[in-house]
Amino acid sequence: MAVKVAFMQCSDCWGCHQSLLNAHLGLLPVLPALDIVYWPAVVDFKHDSLKARPDGDVLVGFLEGSLRTNEDIESAKLMRAKCQLIIAFGSCSCYGNVHGLANEWDIQDSIDRKFKQAESITNKDTAKEPTSHMPGFTRKIVPLDEVIKVDAYIAGCPPKPEAIISAVQFLLGQKPQPMADAAFCSECVLKDSGCVLEKGVLCFGPITSAGCTLKCTSNGNPCVGCLGPSKTVDSRASKLADMVKNAGALSSGDKKNMYEFLALFLNIPLMSGFDLAGDILKQIKRTGAPQTPLANLPSETEGIASSLMGYLKDHRDFLTVSTVCDTCPREIGSKSQMTKVKRDYEGLPNMEDCLIEQGYLCAGPITRAGCGGLCLRVNAPCSGCYGQTQWNVDQAERFADIVTKTYNVALSKEQLLAQMKDKIGFSEKFTLATNKNYR
């Protein structure tokens, strides 16, 4: 039986919807499970049709966008009334997004710049804020959960398609099935010599579907399970099972692999990118967990998944404190050293070393994981779109504190801070709306 879902857009860019649509063919298994009752981006139901529904009629409501206008506030309240479960969909509703940077100014300054001062305006003598059939602006942008109760958060600007689909599947209790017959190991370039798992590195090849490009192990890296489970497992699965039985003792590199594996293979909604409000394990229990959301797994795979879920049960922090650095492919403690803060346009960094150690301001150390380090992979520093790992602290100070202590940085904390000209734009670009000092 399809469940009713509604998508509401507040002041936004459509990017979360585009990201959802980017799943393309991946959407097909999900669509039949959904009865879309409101989604102005795609379907033709009007506002009145949502208003006319009884309260609580819709199971899941996705709310995208920042609360910049009074209409946005009304839309949020309407959704809260009509939906049993509200998801803050994307970093706008989670944290206010870049639009929250406007909180640095009085709203009137923004209005004046746009409607009175812009160089191209030709009716400057009469121009003013439009008011005819216009909703008016909120004085400051605040995150959605300061206006209505939120049940779950999907962060990211935009959230990755995989994260959205797995969040939807998770909420609907839908279970993806195993795919290829053989395991990754059967095609692995290192199967006969140089196996990384045999060297003691956590590699999920023995239980992962074959059929990928083999790029990870070709480069000497372990498999993190992108393709999901295989129908049969490789004999090395027992070695893997032994390693994860004591997951707490794994090295930081192995934990990084485990983190990616949990997201990609086990379809655990990307953890730091997807949060249930309140106690996550209590919420998971409501759906009969903690257990893997996958079904019909080979027994060895089931055992490995159970070990990891057991670890999550005892280490809730693992879900929330991972940073972008934890999933970044670059080396920390590299041969590079930051001796001064470089601007992004200066030089061209190499692809191997930590960007901070190469001199660039990268928000990775203070930013929640979930993206998989997409920016870093094209040589661009993290700008913090998944939100931070700690709140109610001075983020620029915290950044300076962390990197001067644990990264190869030759500057003192004070020197580093002094060289950061736009601290807010760097460290709170996506989250300033959560900062009560700017209300």
Least Cβ distance, residue 422 to another protein (angstroms): 5
Contact 155, 96 (CB under 8 A): no
Least Cβ distance, residue 65 to another protein (angstroms): 8
Least Cβ distance, residue 25 to another protein (angstroms): 6
Beta bridge partner(s), residue 11:
66
Residue placing its CB nearer to another protein in the complex, 99 or 236: 99
Residue placing its CB nearer to another protein in the complex, 8 or 402: 8
Give the span between the Cα atoms of 354 and 374, in whole angstroms.
Answer: 14
Residue placing its CB nearer to another protein in the complex, 72 or 357: 72
* 350-374 per-residue burial string, b: 16 or more CB within 10 A, e: under 16: eeebbbbbbbbbbbbbbbbbbbbbe
Residue 28 to residues 25, 33, 322, 345, Cα–Cα distance (Å):
6, 10, 31, 42
Contact 205, 167 (CB under 8 A): no
Give the span between the Cα atoms of 90 and 371, in whole angstroms.
Answer: 12
What does the longest C-alpha to C-alpha distance in the chain come to? 79
Residue placing its CB nearer to another protein in the complex, 161 or 290: 161
- First and final CA of the chain: distance in angstroms? 45
Give the span between the Cα atoms of 5 and 171, in whole angstroms.
Answer: 11
Least Cβ distance, residue 71 to another protein (angstroms): 6
Give the span between the Cα atoms of 317 and 249, in whole angstroms.
Answer: 15
Q: What count of Cα atoms within 13 Å lies in the side-chain half-sphere of residue 343?
A: 4
Least Cβ distance, residue 29 to another protein (angstroms): 13
* Token pair listed for 230: 């295989």
Give the span between the Cα atoms of 417 and 361, in whole angstroms.
Answer: 11
Contact 366, 395 (CB under 8 A): yes
Residue placing its CB nearer to another protein in the complex, 109 or 181: 109
Least Cβ distance, residue 339 to another protein (angstroms): 18
Calculate the CA 105 to chain-centre distance: 28
Residue placing its CB nearer to another protein in the complex, 75 or 388: 75
Least Cβ distance, residue 380 to another protein (angstroms): 4
Least Cβ distance, residue 45 to another protein (angstroms): 7
Question: 3-class SS at 122?
Answer: coil
Residue placing its CB nearer to another protein in the complex, 8 or 271: 8
Shortest CA distance to 308 belongs to which of 207, 403, 401, 376?
A: 207
Residue placing its CB nearer to another protein in the complex, 21 or 52: 21
Least Cβ distance, residue 188 to another protein (angstroms): 18
Residue placing its CB nearer to another protein in the complex, 97 or 230: 97
